Amino acid sequence: MPAQLAKAWSVALVGLSGAMVEVEAAVSSGLRGTIVVGLPDTAVTEARDRCRAAMQVTDLGWPEGRVTFNLSPANLPKAGTHFDLAMVAAVGATQRLCRQEALRQVMLFGEVGLDGQVRPARGLLPALLEAVRHGFTKVIVPTAQLREAMLIDGVEVTGVSRIERLFAVLNGGNGDEPPPPTPVAPRSKPLPDMADVAGQFEAKWALEVAAAGRHHVYFHGPPGVGKTLLAERLPTLLPDLSPAESREVSSIHSLAGRPLSDLITRPPFSAPHHSASLPAVVGGGAKIANPGAISMAHRGVLFLDEAPEFSARTLDSLRVPLESGKVTISRAYAVTVFPAAFQLVLAANPCPCGNADTPGQECKCTPFTVRRYASRVSGPILDRVDIRQQLQPLQRSFLSRTHAVGESSAQIAERVAAARERQAARLAEVGFQVNGEVPGVVLRKQLPLPDGIELLEAAVAQGRLSARGVDKVLRLAWTICDIAGSAKPSQDQLHAALAMRRGSERC
């Protein structure tokens, strides 16, 4: 029997970056068997068994003799189940189920079930973007992911639900219709809105400043005062994602296996539980890493409730992403870099039992436990946090008052958007976009100093404020000034910024 050879195309993904992969199938005489070469992970190695079973079950047949799959470039690690479709197509082409020419410039993506079904796989969006970048004009994807694939312009997308349909399409037939859009269930709960939160005007103001200047926040207060309620509503104050950000954020969510029927255009919210493992928070996986909660919060908000309960390793692993906006994960086969530029909201009870500093409640913790609890969030993380806001339980009388309902998210978001525009224009010459990013040296040397700066000098002289604390107050003063639309922070605005740092004895 002469050796037969055919090839198809797919994409290997390491993080969000991808590379085109040529999937070759060679059938040669000799001992029966199937091997996969070219740095495959377990899922790719198992693909040979899935593909063989599927082709036998569907009567498409499997070649006699030896089948060798080669995924090249060989030095690039391959992970995931989406190579199945290209492997089936290549082996089918060796058996004249389709012509080799039909596979030219076609990117194939999809997992194949033992019964011949073509199933969704993770990372379709970044794979498609890679194919488009390489000039591929046609892609074949699982029908279930057709709507996700249609989000990308510039490429002809065909959906197949079974491998028999794949060969029908490769022989000139039509693909499947996209599945009907998932009916939008009537929401049992309305979208979160700042107006839902009763009282806590000081904390809402702190969130408005946080949203406007992209400052990280630390909420302190007893359980039940609304820390989570407030944190969940921070994304509702932030501007829409730009088109480039939207593609990037959607790609991360596609890679994490979230079904997408639309591009994500709003800042995401990610809130890992304190018992979550380190890989679940920062990203991880057996041989090639998957995105973690901090990457799912990219361009949005990462909320760590009960922050002191997170392991020291997990908290420490946030340090680099907070500086660089990305996270690097080393695994056996590859070093993966994921974007992780998030806005951090930490929340903590005053002590392990939650009752310290709460009027009318008795704290059962020792002073030592209270101190140790507070110090679990390390200095390097707190250095990045500009706003520390204390929350107090609402008074009963306050709840019954009508004015307890405040502004809506949309009203606040309008001021935030205007403040963002003003900062971007003002900071363009020093190379930044938001006040939260501006380093201390730029604040002190390159930007004008606010009126009444003596106030801060006095606070430093009295030991009430550290040098780092000065930078934080300056940053906040600029944001408060940008919200107000003034040219330079006034003495009152400096006071307001200093107040926002109240209770920050450790900074």
Helix (H, G, I), strand (E, B) or coil at 494: helix
Cβ proximity to Zn ion, 199 vs 352, nearer residue? 352
Query: Least Å distance between CB 390 and Zn ion?
Result: 16
- Rule CB under 5 A: say whether 127 interacts with Zn ion: no
Phi, psi dihedrals of residue 464, rounded to the nearest 5°: -90, -10
Q: Which stretch binds Zn ion (CB under 5 A): 67-75, 116-124, 255-263, 345-353?
A: 345-353
Decide: 206 and 217 in contact? Cβ < 8 Å.
yes
For Zn ion, the binding residues in 357-416 under the rule CB under 5 A are 363, 365
Cβ proximity to Zn ion, 126 vs 308, nearer residue? 308
Query: Least Å distance between CB 304 and Zn ion?
Result: 20
Q: Characterise 376 by phi-psi region: left (phi > 0), alpha (psi -120 to 50), beta (else).
A: alpha
Contact pick of 356, 447, 473, 481 for Zn ion (by CB under 5 A): 356
Query: Least Å distance between CB 363 and Zn ion?
Result: 3
Query: Least Å distance between CB 224 and Zn ion?
Result: 15
As beta bridge partners, residue 119 has 111
Query: Least Å distance between CB 362 and Zn ion?
Result: 8
Cβ proximity to Zn ion, 364 vs 502, nearer residue? 364
Decide: 312 and 376 in contact? Cβ < 8 Å.
yes
- Rule CB under 5 A: say whether 348 interacts with Zn ion: no
Cβ proximity to Zn ion, 112 vs 356, nearer residue? 356
Which pair of tokens denotes residue 418? 């205007």
What is the side-by-side strand order in the sheet with 216-220? Answer: 269-270, 301-304, 343-348, 216-220, 385-390
Cβ proximity to Zn ion, 236 vs 358, nearer residue? 358
Query: Least Å distance between CB 354 and Zn ion?
Result: 6
Could you list the beta-strand ranges (E) of 264-359. Answer: 269-270, 283-284, 290-291, 301-304, 326-330, 335-339, 343-348
Helix (H) or strand (E) run with residue 441 in it: helix 440-445
Give the C-alpha separation, 197 to 404, whole Å: 9
Q: Which stretch binds Zn ion (CB under 5 A): 276-284, 350-358, 381-389, 471-479?
A: 350-358
Contacts 24+ apart (CB under 8 A), 311-314: 311/278, 312/376, 312/378, 313/278, 314/276, 314/278, 314/281, 314/282
- Rule CB under 5 A: say whether 353 interacts with Zn ion: yes
For Zn ion, the binding residues in 134-163 under the rule CB under 5 A are none
Cβ proximity to Zn ion, 129 vs 351, nearer residue? 351
Cβ proximity to Zn ion, 58 vs 355, nearer residue? 355
Which pair of tokens denotes residue 159? 């959906």
For Zn ion, the binding residues in 1-60 under the rule CB under 5 A are none
Total binding residues toward Zn ion, as defined by CB under 5 A: 6
Site residues for Zn ion per CB under 5 A: 351, 353, 355-356, 363, 365
